[in-house]
Structure 1
Amino acid sequence: MIRRLAVDVPRVLLGLLFLVGALDGFYWMATGQSLVQPPTSAAGLRFEDALKDSGFLWPLMKVVDLIAAIGLLTNRAPAAALLLLLPIITVIILFHIVLNPQGMPVAILLALMTGTMLYAYRDRYAALLR
């Protein structure tokens, strides 16, 4: 029961976090405005603008966010969904460490939830690490 909670709570929270991020990203692509505007440093805003201005990276990230969020929230292939998100999660954590230190609580929470899930699904990743 406790093990289930230790996996299900981070899975659902990550799913919700990336679902909101995907919806916000699609809303921005449609309207040019964000629904969610967390406090971000000037350097962080320049980085985000560069991703958006690339023309392809922002939409790609948001599609990956949406697919993985659905996988996590429906508990369909959550280990695969987490692997899809891992590069994005890594960039988010590094973004907060390097460019946006006021977001460190989010980065720490994201790292803890991701680490918990990676550990919980470690048997599914064993073949990748051989």
Structure 2
Amino acid sequence: MIRILTIDIPRILLALLFLVGAANGFAWIITGQDLFHPPTSEAGLRFEAALRDSGFLWPLMKTIDLVAGLMLLTNRAPALALLMLLPIITVIVLFHLVLNPGGLPIAGVLAVLTAMLLFAWRDRYAPLLR
């Protein structure tokens, strides 16, 4: 039961968050329209536009979201999937702290889920820190 609460539920929730984000990102890449767009500050919209206009960063991020989200959902190399997502998660949390405070609740959820999984899989990451 503890494993379900501390690993499986956070893993699945994180996977679903990133799969929804990937679907929304690919919808924009294909159609130029978002499936949904939460309220975003002017500075946040400018940052998002810069990522999209770069031509390569947005598709790269959404591909990582998709692949890592599927890895987490299917429980295939989930510790690797979390490492793949960690830079994106860091940017999302900082984005909401600095540019779009209205999104802090979801950023907080994202940070808590990530911290739970990092702690649960700390033995897998230990060799990286030696």
TM-score, structure 2 as length reference: 0.98
| Secondary structure of 1:45's aligned partner | helix
CA distance in structure 2 between the aligned counterparts of 1:107 and 1:20, rounded to whole angstroms? 15
**Which amino acid counterpart does residue 72 of structure 2 have in structure 1?**
L
Count of residue pairs the alignment pairs up: 130
Q: CA deviation at 1:36?
A: 1.7
Gaps of 5+ in 1: none
Q: What corresponds to 2:19 in structure 1?
A: 19
Q: Secondary structure at the match of 2:34?
A: coil
1:118 matched to 2:113? The reply is no
TM-score for the superposition, normalised by structure 1: 0.98
Where does 1:56-95 land on structure 2 (aligned, <5 Å)? 56-95=56-95
> Does structure 1 residue 35 correspond to structure 2 residue 35?
yes
Which ranges of 4 or more aligned residues in structure 1 deviate by more than 6 Å?
none
| Mapped partners of 2:107, 2:27: distance in 1 | 24
Deviations 1:7-52 (A, max 9, x none): 1111000100000111111110010000021111010000000000
Q: What is the identity percentage for the equivalent residue pairs of Structure 1 and Structure 2?
A: 69
CA distance in 1, matches of 2:125, 2:53: 34
Instruction: Tell me how large the CA RMSD over aligned residues is.
Output: 0.6
Gaps of 5+ in 2: none
Between the aligned partners of 1:60 and 1:73, the Cα distance in structure 2 is: 20
State the alpha-carbon separation in 2 of the partners of residues 128 and 56 from structure 1: 28
Hey, what's the Cα distance between the residues in 2 that align with 1:20 and 1:102?
19
Alignment correspondent of 1:55: 55
Give the deviation of 1:75 after TM superposition: 0.4
